[in-house]
Each structure stands twice: as structure tokens, then as C-alpha cells.
Amino acid sequence: QVQLVESGGGLVQTGGSLRLSCAASARTFRFHVLGWFRQAPGKERQFLGAFRFSDGTTGYADSVKGRFTISMDNIKNAETTMYLQMNALKPEDTAVYYCAAGLQSSLITTTRGYNYWGQGTQVSVSS
């Protein structure tokens, strides 16, 4: 059983910053990858970035590279926290942001590669 709980969303002005958190825990097994996605109204869920536990690799979508950064806390524990630091936010970053856990060992960039999802946190960027 995996629990993923996002927090840190809110309303911010263009150019501002936010840091999202994802508290991740698993009782009987460890997930291999944690990822961030977002979904704007009427659009498909979009990959933002992910962290692989086996070697500490982090990967990002080109659209957010240089603005968004993933960091981790307590990666060796059963309860891990993943952060998404978002800078220079734009109105088009407005979406619900999701944390996801995958059992595969690759940094997959599609939703099909992830087995568990959090409930999401709303990020709104005003112009």
C-alpha cells in the first residue's frame, strides 16, 4: 500500500515561486521512481520530472527544465518527501499538480509508467 500526499499549492503572481511537497510512504515494498505531473483543465496530464531511487537520477520535461527543480528528503526511509521547487511561474503553469509513484526502474515520462497517484494540489498563477 502506497500513500502519496501533496501539499504547498496556492495562488501566486506571475514571476513568483512555490514549493510543492509530496509525502510518500509504502508499507510492504519500495517504489523505484517518484514523479511530478500536472493537469490543466481540458488538457492531458503532463509529465514534469521524476527521481529514481536506485542511483539518484533526476529527469525533467524540456518545458520546465531550468525553472523547476526536484529535491528529496529521507530517501532511505520508508517515508520519503519529494519537493518540487517552481520558479518564474507563468499563468500557463496553472494546473493541478500530482505526485506519482512507479514500480518500474526507468524514468518513464508517461502516466502509464506510474502505479500510484496522490490527490493533487492546485497551483494558480495570476497575470
Q: How do residues 90-113 score in pLDDT, each as one tens digit?
A: 999 999 999 999 998 888 899 999
Cβ neighbours of 94 (radius 10 Å): 18
pLDDT per position as a tens digit, 3-26: 999 999 999 999 999 999 999 998
User: Do residues 19 and 83 make contact, with C-beta atoms less than 8 angstroms apart?
Assistant: yes
Within a 10 A sphere around the Cβ of 86, how many other Cβ atoms?
A: 24
Q: Using one digit for the tens of pLDDT, what is the confidence trace for 55-95?
A: 999 999 999 999 999 999 987 777 899 999 999 999 999 99
pLDDT at res. 41: 94
Residue 28 has pLDDT above 90, yes or no: no
pLDDT attached to residue 78: 76
